[in-house]
Amino acid sequence: MAEDMRVKELKTVFSPEQIAMRVRELAAEIDSLYGQEPLVAVCVLKGAFIFFSDLARSLHNQNMELDFIRLSSYGMSSSSSRHVILNKDVEVDIRGKHVLSVEDVVDSGYSMRFLLDRFAARQARSLRLAALVDKHERRQADVTVDFAGFRLNKGFIVGYGLDYAERYRTLPGICEIIPE
């Protein structure tokens, strides 16, 4: 999609109610796995910040630390680049700790492969990945989403933190952009 693409319609794919229910279900799955084990939940900025906030507030782990990382590979384009840039690193020492990376969308998998390899080199006790949307059909790198909110095969989606050229992040649901 071109940066100057004109939007004909924003078609709802997942409603705010569907998202809220699924976030609670994911939190229950994550709580079941980790219990009260020490956990570092890492938000991948910018896209995952709303999902991360809702998910973190739904978790019951009192031994959880929160941190943030920022990667970029898209720029202002709608297609992934294999070149991943680390713009902001975590500040918490993850050595020997369970780490849950929280991402908005995993499609090609290149960014998450980069991140998981980086965390593995720091000797995290375990590494798992939660993603609001898993576009598994587009996967090119060897990455498994351990906690997938929704699976989606196609469509350029925005809302609930996801953007197109920094727009549409604050939509309460997830919508597909239908171009003119």
174 belongs to a structural domain: no
The residue annotated as part of the active site, out of 54, 104, 107, 134, is 107
- Other C-beta atoms closer than 10 Å to the C-beta of 160 total 27
**Looking at this protein, which amino acid is placed at residue 105?**
V
Angle at 68 between CA 121 and CA 157, to 5 degrees: 105
Cα(53)–Cα(153) distance, rounded to whole angstroms?
25
82 belongs to a structural domain: yes
145 belongs to a structural domain: yes
Query: Would you place residue 8 in the very low, low, confident or very high pLDDT band (cuts 50, 70, 90)?
Result: confident
| Cβ 71 vs Cβ 111: under 8 Å | yes
How many domains, the chain? 1
104 annotated active-site: no
Residue 108 is part of a domain; what is its CATH number? 3.40.50.2020
87 belongs to a structural domain: yes
The confidence score (pLDDT) of residue 30 equals 98
The confidence score (pLDDT) of residue 76 equals 46
7 belongs to a structural domain: no
Q: What pTM value is reported for the model? A: 0.91
pLDDT tens string 38-96: 999 999 999 999 999 999 999 999 999 999 999 987 544 455 557 888 999 999 999 99
pLDDT tens string 120-148: 999 999 999 999 999 988 899 999 999 99
9 belongs to a structural domain: no
Tell me the residue range of the domain where 149 lies.
16-155
Average pLDDT, integer, range 17-34: 98
Is the predicted pLDDT of residue 3 greater than 60, yes or no?
Answer: no
